[in-house]
Amino acid sequence: MQDSSGPSPDRRASRVVAALCVLGLLVTGLLMAGAMRTDRSTEKRLLATQTRQAATVLAAAVTDIEQTLTMGLEVQASVLTERRAAVFIDRFGRYVGEEKPFALASLWRTDEVDLKPVATVGAAAGSKQTAQPAHSLVRRALTADSAVVRRVVAGKQTRIAYALADPETGVVIYAERAIPANRRAPVDRDSAFADLNYAIYFGRRTRTSDLTTTNVALGSLPLAGTTSKTSVPFGQTVLTLVTQPRHHLGSKLNKEMPWYLLVSGLLMTGIAAAVTRQVLAARNRAESDTRTIRTLYERVDTLFGEQRDLSIRLQRALLPKNIPHIPGLEVAAEYAAGAKGIDIGGDWYSVIGIEDDGFAFVVGDVSGHGVDAVAEMARARFTVRAYLLDGNSPQVALKKCSRQFDVDTDGHLVTVIAGVGNTRTGEITVANAGHPAPLIVHSDRRHEFVDTNVGPPLGAGAAKYEPTTFTLPSASTLLCFTDGLIERRGENLDVGLNRLATAANSSGSPPSANLELFISGLLDTMRDDEASDDIALLAVKRVPL
């Protein structure tokens, strides 16, 4: 006979165990969903970061093309009119042909009567088809303030046509660059594209007809799934870069964490169910079994906390590169390209807040200019920044980085000054990998260079770095810089350091001064118009909280 007072103990135990299993599966599902959401968010951030690096490489390639046209105009401006055709053919012929930047190039000149070509270099195939577009593009270039770019069809070949004019002389350089039939481009070989599928479109639309280059089969376009999109200035238009990860970009642990949580959740749910049945079957063990269940749930909470901590650290490694607001500090920075027409190099700076009253900063310099230097700079910047955000001391961060760079393989040396500090106490610890020592400018305009322990640059082999700790007084400014600020050809380095100290004293940084105006004036005073090296300048001023 069934007991009318309620369900039997076995039925009550089954209900409790069933409810516990549902709860365990629910918690496991929530943890898995959170881990997957974090992994997707991290993948999007990593993809966005790599897309920005790839866009920098693409921008460098565009700059190389524009510089070639600009140099051609500068040469034409310096020669006599009757020699322009010969000089153009001689100088521009090296850039035209197979495996060279341009398939066709021509020199045009306008006067009050007519606009006509003066000289042409390269195969004339397709020239009849592109004669009218060329004439139209050249005429547009005479009224444009930058290069005019458009797509043209030359026979069965699609090309990108450029026209750049000097309105004062009426001279225009017109060039056509072939789009490869297989839609592959030299940027494929750059490490910034190693982990990406990409498609580059002419203009802002991503239509198949506007495609210039890609590294996937045309049938796979448009790229789907997780993608990132950015634009790169291209004359008076843009190139649109769409990317897709070739594989998982984040850590293996982050990718597999949902499955670890699933196995752990199922295992702990089963254990909890078994323990609960024992608790209900043996009331005399209720207290002991309750503690066991509490321990199991604490383990679940611990796993959730560890996953949350991993997510926070990954997000810190991908903080925006804009200078953050750090209470207790005023921060300003500037970057100046060295040689005329070069807007990319290997110098960089970064400053980040750490916890409530901490901060970290990095200033570095990769030897050389161009795409390779920028790629190394991006790798060094994100690597050092990630190690500092991960809680490493400056000397440990540089030691770890020294294992990842090799001048024999990469062809570059990297100098770095890295530091961490406390806004409340003003205490700062720095480590130096072959970099110029920072300068402290006091509120009374006294100055002193920090006597750092200088280790070898990154790329010279694994090394150990010794820290230097000092205190930055209130209202004083710490100035970190790259060697382009102080070096002059044929001049002793001490002369440049003394010149910097004198300039800092004359433009000063008293408590009420604007820090941005201070470093701007310092850069104007120190910069040499003939210098070819880039300059990165970071100023950190301690202000009362």
Specify if 252 maps to a domain.
Answer: no
Q: What pLDDT does 311 receive? A: 32
Q: What pLDDT does 477 receive? A: 92
Residue 96: domain span: 79-178
Which residues are 84's β-sheet partners?
A: none
**Strand pairing of 439-441 and 358-366?**
unpaired
- Most confident region among 369-373, 424-428, 485-489, 524-528 by mean pLDDT: 424-428
User: What's 456's domain CATH number?
Assistant: 3.60.40.10
Q: What pLDDT does 492 receive? A: 86
Task: Tell me which of 158, 178, 198 is where a domain ends.
Answer: 178
Q: Among 217-231, 366-380, 443-457, name the one with the lowest average pLDDT.
A: 366-380
Q: What pLDDT does 123 receive? A: 63
Specify if 304 maps to a domain.
Answer: no
Distance CA 269, CA 293 (A): 10
Q: What pLDDT does 435 receive? A: 94
Conformational region of residue 370, where left means phi above 0, alpha means psi within -120 to 50, and beta covers everything else: left
Average pLDDT score over residue span 430-455 = 91
Task: Tell me which of 126, 152, 178 is where a domain ends.
Answer: 178
Q: What pLDDT does 1 receive? A: 44
Three-state secondary-structure class, residue 510: coil
Q: Among 111-120, 133-142, 442-451, 534-543, name the one with the lowest average pLDDT.
A: 111-120
Cβ–Cβ < 8 Å for 242, 223? yes
Mean pLDDT rounded to a whole number for the chain: 80
Q: What pLDDT does 102 receive? A: 85
Q: What pLDDT does 343 receive? A: 47
pLDDT over threshold 80, residue 292: no
Specify if 136 maps to a domain.
Answer: yes
The total number of structural domains in the chain stands at 2
Specify if 488 maps to a domain.
Answer: yes
Specify if 372 maps to a domain.
Answer: yes
pLDDT over threshold 50, residue 115: yes
Q: Among 241-245, 295-299, 433-437, name the one with the lowest average pLDDT.
A: 295-299
Specify if 162 maps to a domain.
Answer: yes
Task: Tell me which of 114, 143, 178 is where a domain ends.
Answer: 178
Q: Is the dihedral of CA 253, 257, 259, 264 positive or negative?
A: positive
Specify if 472 maps to a domain.
Answer: yes
Cβ–Cβ < 8 Å for 46, 255? no
Q: What pLDDT does 538 receive? A: 94
Specify if 241 maps to a domain.
Answer: no
* 239-252 confidence digits (pLDDT tens): 899 998 988 887 77
Q: What pLDDT does 280 receive? A: 66
With tokens 């376009």, the residue in question is 221
User: What's 161's domain CATH number?
Assistant: 3.30.450.20
Q: Running DSSP on this structure, what letter comes out for residue 35? A: H
- Sheet of strand 228-234: strand arrangement: 211-214, 196-202, 237-245, 228-234
Q: Which pTM does this prediction carry?
A: 0.43
